[in-house]
Amino acid sequence: MSSHSHSLIELHQVGQSFVTHQHSVSLFADLTFSIEQGHSYAITGPSGSGKSSLLMLASGLEQPTAGEVVYSNQGHIQPISHIRSEIGFIFQQFHLLPEFDALNNVALPLKLRGHKQALAIAKEWLDKVGLGHRLKHKPAELSGGEQQRVAIARALVFNPKFIFADEPTGNLDANSAGEIADLLFECCRDKGAGLVLVTHSDSLAQQTQHQLRFNAGKCERVSAQQRAEHTVERGSKRYA
């Protein structure tokens, strides 16, 4: 575990609602939990239940309509905006820049920060995600799985404290999804980054240490026992 392990994102009694056609719709309310650096979290639930909104709030990209989201570093409480530069994202659609080759896509966050060794570090990362032989390939020349590997390398190359991933395997076939998930967890573990991912995939969610589930308008923490039962249930179904 890295030295960042005392960093936390804390959500205190957070609620999110919006008004549509003069009706207030509440996505979730009174949600309190912490995201600890070095740990992994899954947010699951049906479409439209508020998973992505929670991701936005937790990453500080949006303000909650109730409660607050703060960053706690060694016990010092700071606004979430304080950690904004140390958060990385991974998307379902990868969102690599089509004009750049794999190497430059990965080097981009470092280059923008003025890092002198940007290309060398990017190359190391591409080697790490198994694309050392695809450095000069443009996104259009890479498969979905390869693109997501590049995206993972790009998200982690600047050593963020937290990674937020939205359906990172949603666009991939089962084999690629498994490989990508393993890679994602491994990289986050190696770098000591906190990982928060939104997913529909139970198997992916099961690989995380913590899980929040949206269900019938509520967001609840799934206990270790529930997760274990769910795994058995899934297993029995699979082999039934």
Partner 1 sequence: MHKPILPLAWRLFLEDGRTVNQRVLQATQTILMVFIVTLTLTSQSVQQQLEHNMANLLGADAVVTHTGALSADEFAYLQQTSSAVIYTQSLKTTLTHADKWQRVSLKAVDENYPLQGQVQVSNSQSEASYSAEFAPAPGEIWLDPRLSSGLAIAVGDILTITDTPLTVTHILHHEPDRLMEGHNVDMRALVNRQDFTQLGFADDTIDYRYLLNADKAQIDQLFTWQQQQLPSAEFRHRQGSHPLALFWQRTENFIGLASVILLFMAAIAIYQVSRIQIRKEQHFSAVCMSVGASRFEGLKVSIYKWLMHIASLLPIVLVIATLCHFAIVDWLSATLSNLTWQPNFATAGLAFGACALLLAVFQLPVWLSLKQASVRQLVFNLPHPQRAIVSLGSAIVVLMVVTAIYSDNGLLTTMVLGSMAACVALIALVSWLSLTLGEKLTQRYSGLFSFATFMMRQRIVSKSTQIMGVGLCAFLLLFTLMLLRDLGNTMHKYQRQYDGNLFVSQADSTQMQAVESWVLKQDGEMRQQKPFMYAKLIRVNQQSLDEFATRPSESLATFKRSIRLHWTDVVPSNNRVINGQWWGIAPQETQRSQNWQQISVEQEVMTDIGLTIGDQLTFMVGEQAVNFTIVASHAYKSGAGSITFWVQMPTAAIEYLRAPHYYMASIETNEDSFSTLGHLWQQHPTLRMVSMREMMARFDNTLTLVTQIISGFAMMIICLASIVIVSSVLAYERQERKKNSVIMSFGLPKRTCLHINLIEWALTGGIAASGAMFGTWLAGVLIYQSQFSLPYAPDFIWLAGTLLVIMVIVIAIGHLASRNSLSSSVRELLAE
Binding site for partner 1 (CB under 8 A): 52, 55-56, 59, 61-62, 84-89, 91-93, 95, 97-100, 104, 108-116, 118-119, 154-155, 158, 160, 166
* Closest CB 224 distance from partner 1, rounded Å: 29
Whether 43 and 197 have beta carbons less than 8 Å apart is answered as yes
* Closest CB 232 distance from partner 1, rounded Å: 33
When the beta carbons of 26 and 85 are compared against partner 1, the nearer one is: 85
Alpha carbon of 101 to those of 89, 128, 150, 225: distances in Å?
19, 17, 10, 45
* Angstrom distance (rounded) from CA 82 to CA 90: 20
What count of Cα atoms within 13 Å lies in the side-chain half-sphere of residue 149?
Answer: 26
* Closest CB 114 distance from partner 1, rounded Å: 5
CB atoms within 10 A of CB 208: 22
When the beta carbons of 8 and 198 are compared against partner 1, the nearer one is: 198
When the beta carbons of 103 and 183 are compared against partner 1, the nearer one is: 103
* Closest CB 211 distance from partner 1, rounded Å: 20
* Closest CB 135 distance from partner 1, rounded Å: 14
Helix (H, G, I), strand (E, B) or coil at 204: helix
Whether 140 and 173 have beta carbons less than 8 Å apart is answered as no
When the beta carbons of 129 and 227 are compared against partner 1, the nearer one is: 129
When the beta carbons of 97 and 228 are compared against partner 1, the nearer one is: 97
Q: Give the pairing type, strands 87-90 and 162-166.
A: parallel
